[in-house]
């Protein structure tokens, strides 16, 4: 694996001047993931917060080749770029070893862009897809997405007398990507940089498509303090809400097992989108979330042991 000194010495792909909110998890994630690459890189970026805040014409914070795609076709654009690259290499017109990285939020990955993503993975295009999982459509005002947790308040699942927030659970996109039988799939968090950079390196070295699902705090819509970003992402890991694991050619490995699991209410606390759960009479809702998290963890342990 690449040493810390080597990581620090690689060319930064995202530089200063972006307009992302203070405390946003995405720039830290992007910098950690791209720090493992010394080769030339092409980044394909779906419409969303990251695209708008890093590439608003006539300014850019990108220090590499960068393509803005639509919400729904990021993986398709990456497939085309990767195919063109292979064709140019075959004709002897391109000698450099390029790496390709597709970026999308959970709205453009779990939902709108899933068809293109699934097709690209099934066809075996060699690129890394990185999902910034901030659990909602943040760029357009925090609507619910397939990644939004159970009972979270959003503008399209408002907690009140009618419903206690989103009434459906999260989609297991990481598991869905595993079902595509691609070489490498991993779930990570910016709160553990060593784990994330290790997984990024494996993803870029995979002999085919790779998928990274990384939890990304959104202080604006999670309604948390900007300075608490790493703390909240770490609590998600310590509570088993967001397990750190990887799947190489179908083989599961859990990279971190908390010695003392943090109760899920500790992660829910200090997030305004969950404040209604702490009102008297809603204890059963927190208990239900805890049960779901515990069941998912047991299922993950079973997969690792198979």
90-130 pLDDT, tens digit each: 999 999 999 999 999 999 999 999 999 999 999 999 999 99
Determine the Cα–Cα distance for residues 158 and 144; give it in Å rounded to an integer.
10
Residue 193 has phi, psi (to 5 degrees) of -65, -35
Give the residue-averaged pLDDT of 161-189: 97
Options 3.40.50.720, 3.30.2420.10, 3.90.1150.10, 3.40.50.970; which CATH number does 4-305 get? 3.40.50.970
> Residue 5: which pLDDT band, with cuts at 50, 70 and 90?
low
pTM for the whole structure: 0.96
Using the predicted structure, report yes or no on whether residue 233 has a pLDDT greater than 80: yes
> Residue 1: which pLDDT band, with cuts at 50, 70 and 90?
low
Using the predicted structure, report yes or no on whether residue 225 has a pLDDT greater than 90: yes
Give the residue-averaged pLDDT of 187-195: 95
Query: Whole-number mean pLDDT of the chain?
Result: 95
In DSSP terms, which residues pair with 254 in a beta bridge?
245
Determine the Cα–Cα distance for residues 236 and 107; give it in Å rounded to an integer.
20
Determine the Cα–Cα distance for residues 84 and 231; give it in Å rounded to an integer.
42
Determine the Cα–Cα distance for residues 279 and 286; give it in Å rounded to an integer.
11
Is the preceding peptide bond at 223 cis, omega within 30 degrees of 0?
Answer: no
Determine the Cα–Cα distance for residues 128 and 122; give it in Å rounded to an integer.
14
Q: Are 99 and 78 spatial neighbours (Cβ–Cβ below 8 Å)?
A: no
């Amino acid at each position: 694996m690449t040493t810390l000194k080597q990581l620090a010495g690689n060319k930064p792909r995202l530089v200063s001047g972006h307009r992302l909110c203070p405390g946003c998890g995405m720039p830290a994630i992007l910098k950690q993931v791209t720090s493992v690459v010394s080769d030339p890189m092409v980044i394909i970026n779906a419409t969303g917060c990251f695209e708008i805040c890093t590439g608003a014409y006539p300014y850019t914070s990108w220090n590499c080749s960068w393509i803005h795609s639509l919400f729904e076709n990021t993986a398709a654009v990456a497939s085309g770029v990767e195919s063109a690259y292979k064709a140019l290499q075959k004709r002897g017109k391109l000698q450099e070893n390029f790496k390709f990285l597709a970026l999308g939020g959970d709205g453009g990955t779990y939902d709108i862009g899933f068809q293109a993503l699934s097709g690209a993975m099934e066809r075996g295009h060699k690129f890394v897809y990185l999902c910034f999982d901030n659990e909602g459509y943040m760029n357009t005002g925090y609507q619910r997405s397939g990644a939004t947790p159970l009972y979270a308040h959003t503008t399209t699942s408002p907690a009140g007398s009618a419903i206690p927030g989103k009434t459906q659970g999260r989609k297991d996109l990481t598991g869905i990507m595993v079902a595509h039988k691609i070489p490498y799939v991993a779930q990570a968090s910016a709160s553990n940089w060593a784990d994330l950079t290790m997984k990024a390196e494996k993803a870029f070295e995979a002999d085919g498509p790779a998928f990274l699902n990384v939890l990304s705090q959104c202080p604006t819509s999670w309604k948390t303090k900007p300075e608490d970003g790493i703390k909240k992402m770490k609590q998600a890991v310590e509570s088993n809400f967001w397990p750190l694991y990887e799947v190489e050619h179908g083989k599961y490995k859990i990279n971190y097992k908390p010695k003392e699991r943090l109760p899920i209410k500790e992660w829910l606390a200090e997030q305004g989108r969950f404040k209604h759960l702490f009102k008297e009479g809603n204890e059963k809702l927190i208990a239900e979330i805890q049960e779901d998290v515990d069941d998912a963890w047991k299922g993950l342990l079973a997969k690792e042991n198979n």
